[in-house]
Amino acid sequence: MRLGFLGAAGEVTGSCTLVETAGLRFIVDCGMFQGGPEARLKNQRALNFGFDVRQIDFVLLTHAHIDHSGLLPRLAMLGYRGPVYATPASIELLEVLLPDSAHIQEKEAEWQLRNRHRRGKGERGIPPPLYSVEQALAALRLLQPVRYGSELRPAENVVVRFHDAGHILGSAWLEVLVSGEGKPRRLIFSGDLGQPDRPVLHDPERPGGAADVLLIESTYGDRRHRSLAETEEEIIDVVERTRAAGGNLIIPAFAVGRTQEIIYLLAGLVRSKRLQPLKVYVDSPMANTATRITLNHPELLDAETRDLIAWQQAHPERMKLEFVADVERSKALNAIRSGAVIISASGMCEAGRIKYHLRENLARRECSILIAGFQAAGTLGRWLVDGARLVRIFGEQVPVRARIATVGGLSAHADQAALLDWLGGFRQAPRRVFVVHGEASASAAFSAAIKARHGWPEVGSPLPGEYISL
């Protein structure tokens, strides 16, 4: 058996692992690299993997986030025609996310072209979109649903089970049993694991038994999140300070998962009268659709969330919640000078409507920007978190005068303590543990924590593009 770590090794984005075993080749996830110009170059190279994609037998997808799914259309462009297995909720989300990803790329290329023409320069050097909307739609036809706990046999000598990962709607960690090369081997792919005791979704299902090979994420493998109670206090502080200053609160949020969690927390704080009534605008067509999909899957939501949804629908005057769809209404939000809470995508401030709201509000001292999720190196969100006083948005220099606040307890990723507890579900040490999906420092710290807590000897972090034979 050989594993190829084609993405999310030494970094958080671009998840993709190639497995070659018993005459089979399959990949787990096919994610886009996210970040600055370096990520764009990686995406251009990513699916010239050095192998013929037409020789891949099947694809297993842990969840719908673009850093795990965003290069599926490019895989199909290069000739892959096999199945892509994912949970039903993931498939519904992908029907929104992949075409939207293509649309953003096409619009970005058009903007760069217009910008270069205005400056009297040619088209040379403008990277083309990785794929078109049509190609994204074509890739969706490869998706095949797999329910949690059911037995999937994608090949004669492979059995796969998807287990609830509690990360976003439909997210899964994978149990893959492979036979055909002597003794059967059990491979576990954690995907992205959620933080337990958080609102909206069920807690991650714990593993059991043993594993020959484990790939474990380490996004926050070097730290612990704040408690939910502390996070609520931080949110109250930001909202009330902004209200008193007479400004707007702008929240960049991932359309899938984070937006719904923020809505939940704000509604809960208003319901308990810890916050005054709010006017909340969700300005992201993708987030609007993702929220609708979430509401269509009550079986995946915890009981507290179902109860809070019913309360908000019965008391719209306490928390006015408007889902902004058309562009003109989105533009009209910029005329609101105070009292608005605007949740918009993208979560790392790299694309979408959030950039317009940041352009209008960053320079205003009375406003606040609430950063509520991981910001990859090289992104606009990371620049704001790191204290930049001047940022570039749509080619313009924008001063940063608004208050930049961060909350540490809203991550959809498990922290170090939760990851270590999840690993405690194994009854014995896996033969090999590969720590992935984390910046190099986080992966190294988590590797050391695994050895210290569980005493597992064979733990390490693969290098980007490394192939390891087992």
| CB-based contact 379:35 (threshold 8 Å) | yes
Question: What pLDDT is recorded for position 286?
Answer: 87
Question: What pLDDT is recorded for position 362?
Answer: 97
What are the pLDDT digits (tens) for 146-159? 999 999 999 999 99
Q: What is the CATH number of domain 2-223+412-469?
A: 3.60.15.10
| Tokens at 174, concatenated | 């994978």
| CB-based contact 188:430 (threshold 8 Å) | yes
Radius of gyration, CA atoms only, the chain: 22
Question: What pLDDT is recorded for position 434?
Answer: 98
What are the pLDDT digits (tens) for 414-446? 999 999 999 999 999 999 999 999 999 999 999
CB atoms within 10 A of CB 420: 17
User: How many helices, marked H, and strands, marked E, lie in the chain?
Assistant: 14, 22
We find that the CATH architecture of domain 228-406 is: 3-Layer(aba) Sandwich (3.40)
Question: What pLDDT is recorded for position 270?
Answer: 96
283 SS3 class: strand
Give the integer Cα–Cα distance in Å for 381 and 252: 8
Question: What pLDDT is recorded for position 180?
Answer: 81
Domain ranges of the chain: 2-223+412-469, 228-406
Residue 87: name the closest of 103, 74, 68 by CA.
Answer: 68
φ, ψ for residue 5, nearest 5 deg: -95, 90
Q: Which residue numbers in the chain have pLDDT < 50?
A: none
Let me know if 45 is exposed, middle or buried by CB neighbors in 10 A (0-12, 13-18, 19+). exposed
Give the integer Cα–Cα distance in Å for 104 and 84: 23
Cα dihedral sign, 444-448-451-454: negative
What H or E segment, with its residue span, contains residue 240?
A: helix 228-245
DSSP 147: -
